[in-house]
Amino acid sequence: MNELNLRRIKLLTSKYSINTPHETTLDLLEEILMCSRRNISNIMRKLTEINWVTWSPSVGRSKTSSLSLNVSLRDALMQTMQEELSANRTHLIVKLLERYQQTALEALSLATEANNHSGSPYESLFITDYPKINTLNPLTAFRHSELQIIRSIYDTLLAKNANSSLQPRLAHDWAFDGKVLQLWIRRDINTHTGQRLSTLDVIASLDNTRQVKGPVQYLFSQIKQMTLGCNNSILIELNQPNPLFPYALTVPCSGIALPEEKKFSSGYRVNVGTGPFKVNDWAKNKIVLEKHGSYFGQTAILNRLTLDHKQSQPSDRKPQASTTHGNQQINSFSYICGQHRIKSQITHDSLKVLLQYLSDSRSSFTLGTPVNGMSLTENQSKFNSVEPPRLNGQVVIAEPKWTMDYLLQLSRWVKQQIQLTGVEVQSIELKDVSNPRSVKDHADLLLIEEVIEQPKSYGYYEWLITSSCPRFLYNDDQFKSYLHNISNAAESNSPDKKMLEIEQKLTEKHLYTPLFLGINFQNSNTDLNGVYFNSRGYNSFEKLWVQESKEIITSHTRLFQTTPHYFL
């Protein structure tokens, strides 16, 4: 890696985008690199050797060559500067700063951070048996195991404290009149690539929330327009007044993600963020998170966190002894909802009787606390022993792939109760938890557990819009009418009452039955500290720390033995 190679990569990146295969010719490369044809092969060979490009030369004079750039100019500068820093050389760094200016400054910041990590022993945590991750896109993720990571790599504009009051985050101040929200963005936010976060970045990210089809699209479709304001601020105008909207900017799905992507050899990719961790590697069987050393807030204590998807074998590694910290009820609940399909092998009336029986017999599931619904209030009804009704037919239940024992047992209980009525049960996997409509044509029932955000007014509002139940039950036209009713409820003088009435109509007009409150079983490794779950069941990765400078290996199921929805 020398200065000449940097000049060549600068010339190539001015013509070609990175991580994209390009067809090119020797004539064109001769023009771009400003050299003779006989030197092209040597130049491309050298750049290939240091993995800055992937080059497949043409065979035959009339054929094109294939070229893919593996690094940006900033990446190449960072690698060069990292070598110079490791060798305690500064002469070339000074020259590069003069020549490449801002790009070199960003590269130097990244190189310094990387050398600080590699130059000293760091504390790291290796968690085995972590559920496999399908996406780290805040707009399409719905599984809690994915959102747990997303909240560590993307920051939200606002945050909530333990009392659910709004707090500053990327925005240091805000003003809201019910329809127009002004947010003043901090000027000291460094992204994971060393660039400063701009107000245009924020607007572009928020614009995606209303454009990209996903579980939260309808939550942000109420945005009418966004404009730049004074003093590094942005203005968000809503289609109609909604006093609950600022809370939507506190949840992981609203995390600010930049258009720039980091691509991995596995084929996975992740957008650049600003959070306390950044993704260092994403392979088929693991994700490696690395501390963001230039984070504007409280930085992570661990330097590296590896989330391994493979089930560990006892002979491979033995987790440290763990300690159980008990369990707590969190702001989530399980429910089952149903529909009568054209191809259903059970009548609508039988489905209704079946779900009523499940509701009445909840006392037989001793692990759970019966719940009234999204209010998360305990059902105080006396549940006596209930004789199962005599029914016939077959039901198909769609459910996620549970990874926690609590909801595995709940799933078994539901199926056993149904079988007691004489109805046969077939189970299919809801593979895309963010899209319950994917099983609408194949399943009669949907079993799920979901979180209710706080404060409760916003929690009701978000659950009614984003939960699986209405998206499983309604078609597009029905869902639009349903959303209109929610908007009216949010604007009313008694939004909580109106939204609870909408949920009640789901019970009365459709097949929707709340089941049990969510439970969070907390275990931790004796060498691991900072394992504290909030009311949603989230643990802050940035607060984890080990007692010595060493790598701790622990099982995900031992560390996070929590409600099954938490890690679906």
**3-state secondary structure labels for all residues of 210-278:** HHCCCCCHHHHCCEEEEEECCCCEEEEEECCCCCCHHHHCCCHHHCCCCCCEEECCCCCEEECCCCCEE
Report how far residue 414's alpha carbon sits from residue 394's, in angstroms, rounded to the nearest whole number: 14
Domain-located, residue 553: no
Domain-located, residue 24: yes
How far separated are the first and last CA of the chain, in Å rounded?
A: 45
Whether residues 232 and 349 share a domain: the answer is no
Residue 290's SS3 state is strand
Domain-located, residue 552: no
Return the higher-pLDDT residue of 99 and 189: 189
Question: Which pLDDT score, from 0 to 100, does residue 555 have?
Answer: 46
Query: In this prediction, what percent of the chain has a pLDDT beyond 90?
Result: 47
CA 161, 163, 167 angle in degrees (round to 5)?
30
Domain-located, residue 36: yes
Domain end (from 229, 254, 279): 254
Domain that holds residue 468: 326-519
Q: What is the per-residue pLDDT across 469-483, written as a single tens digit (0 to 9) for each? A: 999 999 889 999 999
Cα–Cα distances (Å) from 359 to 211, 369, 413, 508, in that order, read 39, 12, 12, 14
Question: Side by side, which strands form the sheet with 233-238?
Answer: 171-176, 180-185, 233-238, 223-228
Whether residues 110 and 176 share a domain: the answer is no
Beta bridge partners of residue 514, listed in sequence order: 335
Is-contact 128 556, C-beta < 8 A?
yes
Query: In this prediction, what percent of the chain has a pLDDT beyond 70?
Result: 84
Domain-located, residue 147: no
Q: What is the per-residue pLDDT across 409-449, written as a single tens digit (0 to 9) for each? A: 999 999 999 999 999 999 999 988 888 999 999 999 999 99
Instruction: Quote the tokens at residue 434.
Output: 């963010």
Q: 552 pLDDT exceeds 70?
A: no
Q: What is the per-residue pLDDT across 197-252, written as a single tens digit (0 to 9) for each? A: 999 999 999 999 998 887 788 889 999 999 999 999 999 999 999 999 999 999 99
Whether residues 99 and 160 share a domain: the answer is no
Whether residues 239 and 333 share a domain: the answer is no
Report how far residue 117's alpha carbon sits from residue 106's, in angstroms, rounded to the nearest whole number: 17
Domain-located, residue 38: yes
Question: Which pLDDT score, from 0 to 100, does residue 381 have?
Answer: 74
Q: 30 pLDDT exceeds 60?
A: yes
Q: 137 pLDDT exceeds 50?
A: yes
Backbone φ/ψ region at 19: left (φ over 0), alpha (ψ -120 to 50), beta: left
Question: Which pLDDT score, from 0 to 100, does residue 313 have?
Answer: 39
Question: Which pLDDT score, from 0 to 100, does residue 566 have?
Answer: 29
The amino acid that residue 294 corresponds to is: S
Report how far residue 153's alpha carbon sits from residue 279's, in angstroms, rounded to the nearest whole number: 7
Residue 458: CB atoms within 10 Å: 23
pLDDT-based confidence at residue 520 (cuts at 50, 70, 90): low
Q: 79 pLDDT exceeds 60?
A: yes
3-state DSSP: the chain helix, strand, coil percent, rounded to 5?
35, 25, 40
Is-contact 92 271, C-beta < 8 A?
no
Number of structural domains the chain divides into:
3
Whether residues 336 and 471 share a domain: the answer is yes
pLDDT-based confidence at residue 402 (cuts at 50, 70, 90): confident
Domain end (from 519, 544, 561): 519
Domain end (from 254, 280, 299): 254
Mean of the per-residue pLDDT values for the chain? Answer: 84
CATH number, residue 459: 3.10.105.10
Mean pLDDT on 170-191: 96
Question: Which pLDDT score, from 0 to 100, does residue 88 have?
Answer: 65
Least confident of 142-151, 381-390, 487-496: 381-390
Q: 148 pLDDT exceeds 80?
A: yes
Q: 317 pLDDT exceeds 60?
A: no
Mean pLDDT on 510-523: 79
Domain-located, residue 135: no
Question: Which pLDDT score, from 0 to 100, does residue 321 have?
Answer: 38
Phi, psi of 451 (to 5 degrees): -90, 145
Whether residues 471 and 338 share a domain: the answer is yes
Mean pLDDT on 52-65: 76
Whether residues 344 and 455 share a domain: the answer is yes
CATH number, residue 194: 3.90.76.10
Whether residues 40 and 180 share a domain: the answer is no
Q: What is the per-residue pLDDT across 321-370, written as a single tens digit (0 to 9) for each? A: 344 445 556 788 999 999 999 999 999 999 999 999 999 999 899 888 99
Choose among 210, 162, 163, 155: nearest CA to 183. Answer: 155
Phi, psi of 402 (to 5 degrees): -70, 140
How much is the pTM?
Answer: 0.71
Report how far residue 77's alpha carbon sits from residue 93's, in angstroms, rounded to the nearest whole number: 9
Whether residues 178 and 94 share a domain: the answer is no
Report how far residue 242's alpha carbon sits from residue 361's, in angstroms, rounded to the nearest whole number: 40
Whether residues 170 and 109 share a domain: the answer is no
Report how far residue 136's alpha carbon sits from residue 269's, in angstroms, rounded to the nearest whole number: 9
Mean pLDDT on 395-405: 89
pLDDT-based confidence at residue 319 (cuts at 50, 70, 90): very low
Mean pLDDT on 261-276: 93
Domain-located, residue 45: yes
pLDDT-based confidence at residue 119 (cuts at 50, 70, 90): very low
Report how far residue 535's alpha carbon sits from residue 454's, in angstroms, rounded to the nearest whole number: 9
Number of H helices, E strands in the chain: 16, 23
Whether residues 13 and 66 share a domain: the answer is yes
Question: Which pLDDT score, from 0 to 100, does residue 564 have?
Answer: 29
CATH number, residue 79: 1.10.10.10
Whether residues 507 and 363 share a domain: the answer is yes
Q: 262 pLDDT exceeds 50?
A: yes
pLDDT-based confidence at residue 151 (cuts at 50, 70, 90): very high
**Biggest distance spanned by C-alpha atoms of the chain:** 90
Is-contact 262 270, C-beta < 8 A?
yes
